Amino acid sequence: MIESTEARYTPAQTRATKQSPDFISAIATELQSMKAAKIEQSESSKSVRIARPFNNEQIEQRVLSILRSGRLVQGKTVEEFERSLSEYIGCRNVVCVNSGTAALHLAFMALKTEEPEKTEVITTPLSFAATANAVIHAGCKPVFVDVDSKTFNIDASLIQQKINSSTLALEPVDVYGLPADLKEIADLAATNHIPVVEDAAEAIGATSDGKKIGTISTLSCFSTYATKNIHTGEGGFVTTQDDHLASLIRLFRNQGQVSRYNQTVLGYNFRMLELCAAIGLEQVPVLDELNRKRRENALYLKERLQKIDSIDFQRVSDPKSHSWYLFTLTLDPQRAKLSRDSFVAKLKGHGIEADIAWPTPIHLQPYFRETFGCKKGDFPVAEALAERIFQLPIQPFLERDDLDRVLDAISEILQ
Ligand SMILES: Cc1ncc(COP(=O)(O)O)c(C=O)c1O
């Protein structure tokens, strides 16, 4: 955890108005100030960390005042967080919930309410388990389609053949923060009269064809889990331009109650904590700057790693369209003369928090093999990628020294 920096530097928000150009440059200064203040870190944070929470005086003040207010759940701060996200994304409805998984679950529940007989959702096997779990929780079955070997996103050209009269929705994932082929997917959805539930858990701040993620699909579902670009510990939200779907999601979020103790449908407790909203709220105005720093870090590493023939990268045609939640590369074990897993283990030995997301595609998880009869060979591109993919740290609080440590470790391991 970052220690309170309250006494050591003046937070940017006290020096400039939110959203103003001054504010953005003040955030850059704030990042510098945090460095200058030599914020004390725990033992584990001496490694080059893949994620690190944002904190400032305003967050601490907000959290404290919520604790003192006596209202801890789903109150004014959650509403303010929703308004702030709605303004930032440019979408009329934002509904906060207590995880990205809950956001997806309720998106499918809302669509199911309209078309209860439909039971299939077309999605990618190269994602986090929640992408498919939420489909199942809503009483549907995930129908997987293989991915593109360059972008690692769902291969849109394979979707049409899986669409039938049972298809409830298409569920592309903006994998690692790189938007899926949303234009082609929207066209397919329109031709077949089916909605798109975008798993945008990793893509806050990303864009596609100049449009913000969260404004394109029928429903877009975001996560604000502890490591995400905006993080609240646990949390998530749904965006939609459709008022009816938004009102259904609000209903499901709070036990199906239209008003206090007046329940019309079977709902859930997916309410967000005020404390979580307070943490997230302060990050919205600085998100673009933090994402810019992530991009800068990724491009710095990429430029220097390009010469290594055993390493390749997720193909990103426009670096500004990516949220850079995770900087994802592949290792060719033959050329490296080293398996991906040993390589990542060695990086960790050098104090570099590299990661593997995800070592097993969803369809090869034992639960999916047993429940849906999935097997090795079903989605060869996803399976091959899952054996080579890894991530390097690019989070916005890293300094050049940290990035150079990553590069030094890689050249030592692959020499
Ligand atoms: C692609 C993807 N989908 C869904 C989720 C689920 O979000 P949460 O962990 O907030 O439930 C995540 C988060 O880890 C994710 O990365």
197, part of any domain: yes
The domain that contains 269 carries what CATH number? 3.40.640.10
8 A C-beta contact, residue 165 and residue 327: no
Pocket of ligand 1 (CB under 6 A): 99-101, 127-128, 130-131, 173, 199, 201-202, 223, 225, 236
Ligand 1 geometric centre to CA of 104 (Å): 9
253-272: pLDDT as tens digits: 999 999 999 999 999 999 99
Distance of CA 116 to the CA centre of its chain: 29
Which residues, in sequence order, are bridge partners of residue 196? Answer: 170
193-202: pLDDT as tens digits: 999 999 999 9
Kindly state whether residues 256 and 295 are assigned to the same domain: no
Tokens 């529940």 belong to which residue? Answer: 109
- Number of the ligand 1 atom closest to the C-alpha atom of 202: 16
Element (H, E) at 187: helix 182-192
The domain that contains 359 carries what CATH number? 3.90.1150.10
Could you say which of 253, 284, 315 is where a domain stops?
Answer: 284
Range with lowest mean pLDDT among 30-44, 98-112, 372-386:
30-44
List the structure tokens of 13.
């928000």
Kindly state whether residues 340 and 212 are assigned to the same domain: no
Q: Which pLDDT band holds residue 46 (cuts at 50, 70, 90)?
A: confident
Kindly state whether residues 214 and 359 are assigned to the same domain: no
DSSP 82-139: HHHHHHHHT-SEEEEES-HHHHHHHHHHHHHHH-TT--EEEE-SSS-HHHHHHHHHTT
d(CA 305, CA 303): 6
Kindly state whether residues 159 and 276 are assigned to the same domain: yes
Ligand 1 geometric centre to CA of 201 (Å): 5
Question: Which whole number is the average pLDDT over 90-97?
Answer: 98
Kindly state whether residues 266 and 293 are assigned to the same domain: no
Kindly state whether residues 219 and 368 are assigned to the same domain: no
8 A C-beta contact, residue 410 and residue 355: no
The residue among 326, 353, 92 whose CA lies nearest residue 225 is: 326
Kindly state whether residues 277 and 219 are assigned to the same domain: yes
Give the pLDDT of residue 29: 58
CB neighbour list of residue 40: distance below 8 Å, 6 or more residues apart: 3
Q: How many domains does the chain have?
A: 2
410, part of any domain: yes
| Mean pLDDT value across the chain | 92
51, part of any domain: no
The reported pTM is 0.91
d(CA 345, CA 348): 5
315-361: pLDDT as tens digits: 999 999 999 999 999 999 999 999 999 999 999 999 999 999 999 99
Across 153-225, the runs of DSSP E, i.e. the strands, are 167-171, 197-199, 207-208, 211-212, 219-223
Q: Which structural domain, as residue segments, surrounds residue 330?
A: 287-414
pLDDT at 126 > cutoff 80: yes
List the structure tokens of 303.
């430029």
List the structure tokens of 362.
């969803």
7, part of any domain: no
Kindly state whether residues 213 and 88 are assigned to the same domain: yes
Ligand 1 geometric centre to CA of 315 (Å): 22
